[in-house]
Structure 1
Amino acid sequence: MPPLHTSRLSWNNAGAPGGQPAVFQLVTRNNEAKDLAEVIVGNSFRDAEPGAFKLHPEILPIGPLVADLQFKKPVGQFLPEDAGCLEWLDAQPGRSVVSRSSHRPFLWVVRPDFAAGLSKAWLDEFQRRVGGSSMIVSRCWRTARWRASRNGVPFLCWPYFTDQFQNESYICNVWRTGLAVAPGADGVVTKEELSGKVERVLGDDGIRERVGALRDAARRSIAEGGSSHQNLMKFVELLKE
């Protein structure tokens, strides 16, 4: 597994200090429960994390599982989706939409409670200003790392919570399918840094090739006879015993 600085361990990035012990205890309990399991099923695939699966052969990766058979309905989510963006997305040129960048159309998912004290009037006015080229919705499919790998989407990483720093490490240092934003000396990520990295991610041929290779590996793994498909069948047989 890729090296990770201790400051980026999940319990050190769990929001308010009071949440850190809770996340640490959760990880500890999960590790204790793992030792009792005959097998562990994971939403990943062998080509994505070969070092991790060599270290933990008891894990059966059966992913990436991100949608139904038609790749239309997301799985593993409980809040209602805002499908209003799909028609707008279909009308944009391929690989042209980001979230968010100057001078490019963007899709921005903004939860109603995403920032304490934010004025709804401000958000409504902002949406009116960018409505011609961009779209804001309350919730849609998250561009999680497995959904992105399955569909060949590069990442611009800006982690801030728990295991997102581990995701960034894989994306930027192992798979090399994206870049990370870098804050300035004052800790602020500038709009120039953000827009510049967006252009680099979208214009880098090497990133595009690696994204395509990871996408193909993900699709092979879940196809009939692929490693994840075989593991799923193995898990089914274990349930029958």
Structure 2
Amino acid sequence: MESMSTTGSAAYRALLLSLLSPGSGGEFPPVTCVVADGIMLFAIDIAEELGVPALAFRTASANSFSAYLAVPRLLELGETPLPVDDPVHGVPGMEGFLRRRDLPRLAPAADGHPTESAAAAGVHPLLLTMAKGIADCGRARALVLNTAASLEGSAVAHISPHMRDVFAIGPLHAMSSSVPGPAASLWREDDGCVAWLDGHADRSVVYVSLGSLTHIWHHEFTEFLLGLLATGYPFLWVLRPDMVGAAEEAALRGAVGDGSKVRVVEWAPQRDVLRHRAVGCFLTHSGWNSTMESILEGVPMVCWPFFADQHINSRFVHAVWRAGLDMKDVCDRSTVTSMVTEAMESSEIRQSVQALAQRVKRDVATGGSSDAEFKRLVGFIAELSATPRHQAQTPVITNGDGRHQE
């Protein structure tokens, strides 16, 4: 992050300058608006400095964004992220169910636990930096969130007063499903796993994927493997090449057998897997994309969050949306077995997540909230882009007496 804001910002400024004059961009017209990842605030600041209006786009959940905004209040109350069940009162709209273990945390240390200093302080300096970056998104002309009103309308409402404008236009993968494009991941997908699913009964397979960043340790791998085997259900497990070592690979080879009950792949076409009739539940790290993809397909989840927004996402899956079970801070074979079995067999969880799926599908359908917000965003960008550059870089601030000043 530090390197991007120094070395990266210089290259970005040069690129943007080269694209501002007619004809300088080759086949492209001059840049009239920038949409930047919200963690790259330098991209927003430089664009505005050059007279180009800029929007911030955040890929995490609105609920986690709201929690980061509340970090100063949480520190005042002493409600810092720790793996304990003490209730949290400092995040607006979440007072009734949020616990300290549900607050955004950084990745654990090598032994799987917080460092002694971090545990004592309850907060890491980088967490404070991230919280400040979240608040500073208010410098952009608007904040764009990949979410839907039926999922996070309350959080969006709490965020809005802190931003100049907010657009909730997701789930984006559902809104763009008819538009062909490249794969969403740089990992090579194993398409053969879909054919493997074809050979299994409806809702009989457990899909396991902990995302593109999570690393698991040997004891965690062992507990997951033995817990999954004890369920008796076949399972499809995504294990990236950088995720496990030689000992784990040997254990997997012994577990796979003839491949009829266990299929292990380095990466899977997740959307195709989740919509497959054979998949009965999703053991997930609760990344926001995975969470929305599972909800949209009506697949119950067992959540094992790792860091950042995943802890809040998993709490909402369990305690608010009733779309699955939250297994955070626990990794033993008996818990894996019991929670996966419950997610596979609970008609209540399945009905709840399928009802939620229908609400989200209405959001992205023509006339739905996300559809309307997307059209409003297009109009917003068109209006910004029509403003001359020398006007775009001059913010207008309203004084308390109603007068305006530049």
Q: TM-score range by the shorter chain?
A: 0.7 to 0.9
Change (3 A) 1:199 1:107: same
Q: Are 1:157 and 2:291 matched, yes or no?
A: no
Q: 1:214 is matched by which residue type in structure 2?
A: L
Choose which of 328, 335, 338 in structure 2 pairs with 1:196.
338
Per the alignment, residue 202 of structure 2 pairs with 94
SS of match in other structure, 1:198: helix
Higher Rg of the two aligned structures: 2
Choose which of 116, 130, 140 in structure 2 pairs with 1:37.
140
Residues 222 and 229 of structure 1 are in contact (CA less than 8 Å); yes or no, is this contact kept in structure 2?
yes
Residues 65 and 75 of structure 1 are in contact (CA less than 8 Å); yes or no, is this contact kept in structure 2?
no
Per the alignment, residue 27 of structure 1 pairs with 131
Per the alignment, residue 174 of structure 1 pairs with 320
Q: Quick check: 118-127 or 211-220, which moved more?
A: 118-127
Change (3 A) 1:145 1:182: closer
Structure 2 CA distance for aligned equivalents of residues 239 and 103 of structure 1: 53
Describe how 1:57-136 pairs up with structure 2 within 5 A. Answer: 57=160, 58-66=165-173, 68-69=176-177, 76-99=184-207, 101=228, 102-115=231-244, 118=247, 120-127=249-256, 129=257, 131-136=259-264
Change (3 A) 1:219 1:230: same
Residues 74 and 141 of structure 1 are in contact (CA less than 8 Å); yes or no, is this contact kept in structure 2?
no
SS of match in other structure, 2:308: coil
Shift of 1:59: 2.4
Residues 14 and 23 of structure 1 are in contact (CA less than 8 Å); yes or no, is this contact kept in structure 2?
no
Structure 1 CA distance for aligned equivalents of residues 242 and 159 of structure 2: 39
> What percentage of residue pairs aligned between the two structures are identical?
29
Structure 1 CA distance for aligned equivalents of residues 179 and 203 of structure 2: 18
Q: Are 1:217 and 2:310 matched, yes or no?
A: no
Change (3 A) 1:99 1:163: same
SS of match in other structure, 1:66: helix
SS of match in other structure, 1:10: coil
SS of match in other structure, 1:56: helix
Structure 2 CA distance for aligned equivalents of residues 74 and 130 of structure 1: 33
Residues 182 and 193 of structure 1 are in contact (CA less than 8 Å); yes or no, is this contact kept in structure 2?
no
SS of match in other structure, 2:173: coil
Per the alignment, residue 15 of structure 1 pairs with 108
Residues 301 and 343 of structure 2 are in contact (CA less than 8 Å); yes or no, is this contact kept in structure 1?
yes
Describe how 1:43-54 pairs up with structure 2 within 5 A. Answer: 43-54=146-157
Structure 1, gaps ≥5 residues long: none
1:161-203 CA deviation, whole Å, 9 max, x = no partner?
22211111110011011112377xxx652x2222222221122
Shift of 1:229: 0.7
Change (3 A) 1:147 1:74: farther
SS of match in other structure, 1:98: strand
Residues 97 and 106 of structure 1 are in contact (CA less than 8 Å); yes or no, is this contact kept in structure 2?
yes
Q: Are 1:235 and 2:383 matched, yes or no?
A: no
Structure 1 CA distance for aligned equivalents of residues 180 and 204 of structure 2: 20
TM-score, length basis structure 1: 0.84
TM-score, length basis structure 2: 0.52
Structure 2 CA distance for aligned equivalents of residues 75 and 39 of structure 1: 28
Number of aligned residues: 234
Change (3 A) 1:130 1:238: farther
SS of match in other structure, 2:260: coil
**Once superposed, what is the RMSD of the aligned Cα atoms?**
2.8
SS of match in other structure, 2:167: strand
Structure 1 CA distance for aligned equivalents of residues 98 and 304 of structure 2: 16
Q: 1:137 is matched by which residue type in structure 2?
A: V
Residues 235 and 261 of structure 2 are in contact (CA less than 8 Å); yes or no, is this contact kept in structure 1?
yes
